[in-house]
Amino acid sequence: MDPQQPRSGPNSLVSSVSRPLRGRGSPAIHGSSPTLASLTILLAASVYSLAQAVAQTPPVPTSPITTLTTRSTLVLVPALVRDKSGELVFTLKAEDFVLTDDDVPQKLTLEQDTDGLPLALVVDIEGGGAGARELSKYGALSKMLETVVGAVPHRVAIVGFDSSPVLVQDFTPDVDLAAKGIQALIADDNGDDGAAILDALGFSLDLLRKQPPEYRRAILLISETNDHRSKVRLDQALRAISDTNTAIYSIGFSSVRDELKHESAKAFGDSTPGPAHGCMSRDPNDPNVNLKQNPAEQAYGCLSLLAPPLRLAKAAILAAFIGFQKNIPETVARLTGGEYFKLTSAKSLDRDLQNISNHIPNRYVLSFQPQSPHPGLHIIELRLPNYAGLAVTARSSYWADAAAPPATPP
């Protein structure tokens, strides 16, 4: 869920009010004009009485200033609806949809007039690894970039990556300038053999968080299916992708390499509580490792260290990790409610870009306000129970942060 974007991600509102109590003033003393002697006697008696009262009065217990905190989270769920022939459907209402958050039904609201909202788009292009042999096909992208962003106000950034991401062109409303960035990346053709897809996505999400909150956010990823040399851990990548309302549209091609993308221990990190070499360790010399337990069962158990103790969330996280190891572009598209296409030729890229340009603005934007969401990953499912012939595509999860503690009073 993106906490910075009211119209395209979860938005938290936290307010704190502190009102210290004030004491009452001492009552005034009225009387006739006293003589000096009587005034002295009266003053001495008053001081004595006050001292006695203070000595006999129990101390008032001190307590911290009470701070009242309210928190409200709005989750946005863009949804694409198509019929059996693939044509888009625009006639549905909020009551036609049914959404569950961790299997709990939610009350939905359909946001109006969202197709005219401005768009912030990051184009992620793999220029190294297996992407080097695909660069000649990317020319279609530079020619069709204006079609992809459409007629709404827009900002486009270009990111190229091999073993690490680099900003080729910062956000610009000038589509021609962004297209020149793509052409420069193709002409450079000097990437190494890395394909740090997850690092590039994290880099791009950070760029999008700095854009104005009224902008819709999207990433167009063109890469191979396997990740090579990313430094981000899988759990960190999953949180970054789920903690935003950025739709990721992916166009992927097969890698010629079959090696494992992320070793399990590296993905979780050695600092994870559990066996000496990490929760996912398979070290036979580690007495805390149960080698009789298969790796999938071990991963399932380790997930309780990363997410709330909900079986649904644990199963979804495990499925996401397995998806990352098989096909990252397809997995991130599914998690964010975007779409995945296979790159086979320059012609297929042209066709896929046409579809993406048609689908980005033509989505229903549904919203709901969960009550007391638990911290961590939430699994959401959007259905059309009364329309068996329609298919709906939407994000499958969001991430909720713990409520921030109240500020320390002065």
pLDDT tens-digit map of 241-262 = 987 789 999 999 987 554 444 4
Cα–Cα distance measured from residue 318 to residue 316, given in angstroms and rounded to the nearest whole number? 5
**pLDDT band for position 281 (50/70/90)?**
low
User: So what's the pLDDT on residue 311?
Assistant: 62
Whole-number CA gyration radius for the chain: 30
**pLDDT band for position 211 (50/70/90)?**
very high
User: What are the residues facing 219 on neighbouring strands?
Assistant: 122, 248
Pull the structure tokens for residue 227: 């990740």
| Residue 320 in this model has a pLDDT that exceeds 70 | yes
Residue partners of 115: CB distance under 8 A and separation at least 6: 152, 361, 362
Pull the structure tokens for residue 2: 């993106």
Single out the residue of 67, 78, 60 nearest to residue 23, CA to CA.
60
List, in sequence order, the alpha helices (H) in 210-263. 234-242
Query: Which amino acid appears at position 316 of this protein?
Result: A
Q: Are strands 67-82 and 11-18 parallel, antiparallel or unpaired?
A: antiparallel
Q: Chain-wide mean pLDDT for the chain?
A: 76
User: What are the residues facing 251 on neighbouring strands?
Assistant: 222, 341
List, in sequence order, the alpha helices (H) in 214-345. 234-242, 264-268, 295-302, 311-326, 328-336
**pLDDT band for position 16 (50/70/90)?**
very low
Mean per-residue pLDDT, 366-390: 90
Chain CA centroid to CA 409, Å: 31
Burial class (CB in 10 A: 0-12, 13-18, 19+), 248: buried
The residue that leads in pLDDT, 18 or 153, is 153
The residue that leads in pLDDT, 400 or 201, is 201
Residue partners of 324: CB distance under 8 A and separation at least 6: 198, 227, 234, 237, 238, 261, 262, 331
The residue that leads in pLDDT, 305 or 328, is 328
The residue that leads in pLDDT, 328 or 345, is 328
pLDDT tens-digit map of 50-91 = 445 434 544 444 434 333 233 347 888 999 999 999 999 999
pTM of the model: 0.71
User: What are the residues facing 379 on neighbouring strands?
Assistant: 397
First-to-last C-alpha distance (Å) of the chain: 32
Single out the residue of 181, 213, 197, 211 nearest to residue 248, CA to CA.
197
Mean per-residue pLDDT, 311-322: 78
**pLDDT band for position 278 (50/70/90)?**
low
Q: Please state, in angstroms and as integers, the Cα–Cα distance from residue 291 to each residue in 114, 284, 285, following that order.
A: 53, 7, 10
| Residue 19 in this model has a pLDDT that exceeds 60 | no
pLDDT tens-digit map of 79-138 = 999 999 999 999 999 999 999 998 899 999 998 888 888 999 999 999 988 898 888 888
Q: Cα-Cα-Cα-Cα dihedral of 163, 165, 166, 172, to 10°?
A: 150
Whose tokens are 């000649």? That residue is: 136
Q: Are strands 119-126 and 154-161 parallel, antiparallel or unpaired?
A: parallel
Question: For the ranges 37-46, 69-78, 262-271, which has the lowest average pLDDT?
Answer: 262-271
Cα–Cα distance measured from residue 17 to residue 406, given in angstroms and rounded to the nearest whole number? 10
User: So what's the pLDDT on residue 184?
Assistant: 92
User: So what's the pLDDT on residue 197?
Assistant: 96
